[in-house]
């Protein structure tokens, strides 16, 4: 394989460091809007939890928290493999970049499959208020419990949408790593996607803590 040569900055940047900082700041600016999006939903969820604890707490305890504990482990592992692929991309080590990108995609798909299993269980348990025939909740205060499940599907669904987008971006990165036509371009894209993927991890940690664990004192 031909040597990739030396990376030079685009003409509108004074140095590689400035170019790298600009890219990094751009992705963080985007993530600030994402923080406001998820944060507003979390805030509304917290408020309604405060207003209707008698409905929200039992509804929360009915969620598949053990399955999602495994899913959290899967997602943390995918964040780790993504960080490793970023690390090796900086060293232009193609095989390791491909390996860890493929592992990240595999873990991301595993997360989505387990999420599908959980959604199927929710439907079978009658915990899907917005689907015909999907709502048959036996717990206390069903009307406000429906509000909890709407928040649950909104937050986990929005998160899953980000996961799908992330997996698509990772697949593009993997193809670029296999072709290895522009290692420096790949590295630039990988930094942005890596930060995005880690952000998805962060959002999930708050979803898991606030929806699944917070109402479980004493098990």
Partner 1 sequence: MAQGERASVRGLVIVYLALVALLGANLGLSYLPLGIFNPISNLGIAALQAGLIMAVFMGLRWSSPLVRVVAIGGIFFLSFLVVLLLADYLTRGLT
Residue 3 within binding range of partner 1, rule CB under 8 A: no
Count of chain residues binding partner 1 (CB under 8 A) = 51
Residue 34 within binding range of partner 1, rule CB under 8 A: yes
Question: Which positions from 90 through 119 interact with partner 1, judged by CB under 8 A?
Answer: 90
| Residue choice 39, 54, 121, 185 for contact with partner 1 (CB under 8 A) | 39
Interface map 44-63 toward partner 1 (x if CB under 8 A): ---x--xx------------
| Distance (Å) of CA 210 to CA 24, 63, 100, 123, 155 | 29, 12, 30, 21, 11
Interface map 174-203 toward partner 1 (x if CB under 8 A): -----------------x--xx--xx-xx-
Rounded distance between C-alpha atoms, residue 26 and residue 47, angstroms: 32
Residue 8 within binding range of partner 1, rule CB under 8 A: no
Residue 166 within binding range of partner 1, rule CB under 8 A: no
The residues that touch partner 1, with contacts defined as CB under 8 A, are: 16-17, 20-21, 24-25, 28-29, 31-36, 39-40, 43, 47, 50-51, 69, 72-73, 76-77, 79-80, 82-84, 86-87, 90, 191, 194-195, 198-199, 201-202, 205-206, 208-210, 213-214, 216-219
């Amino acid at each position: 394989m031909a040597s990739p040569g030396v990376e030079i900055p685009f003409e509108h940047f004074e140095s590689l460091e400035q170019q790298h900082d600009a890219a990094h700041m751009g992705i963080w600016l985007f993530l600030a809007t994402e923080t406001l999006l998820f944060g507003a939903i979390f805030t509304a969820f917290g408020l309604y939890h405060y207003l209707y604890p008698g409905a929200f707490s039992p509804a929360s305890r009915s969620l598949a928290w053990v399955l999602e504990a495994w899913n959290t482990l899967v997602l943390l592992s995918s964040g780790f493999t993504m960080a490793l692929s970023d690390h090796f991309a900086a060293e232009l080590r193609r095989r390791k970049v491909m390996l860890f990108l493929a592992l990240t995609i595999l873990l991301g798909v595993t997360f989505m499959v387990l999420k599908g299993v959980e959604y199927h269980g929710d439907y079978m348990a009658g915990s899907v208020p917005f689907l015909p025939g999907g709502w048959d909740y036996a717990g206390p205060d069903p009307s406000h419990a429906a509000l909890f499940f709407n928040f649950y599907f909104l937050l986990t669904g929005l998160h899953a949408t980000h996961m799908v987008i992330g997996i698509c971006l990772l697949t593009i990165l993997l193809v670029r790593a296999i072709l290895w036509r522009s290692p420096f371009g790949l590295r630039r894209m990988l930094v942005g996607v890596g930060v995005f993927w880690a952000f998805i991890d962060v959002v999930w940690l708050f979803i898991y803590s606030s929806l699944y664990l917070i109402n479980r004192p004493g098990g």
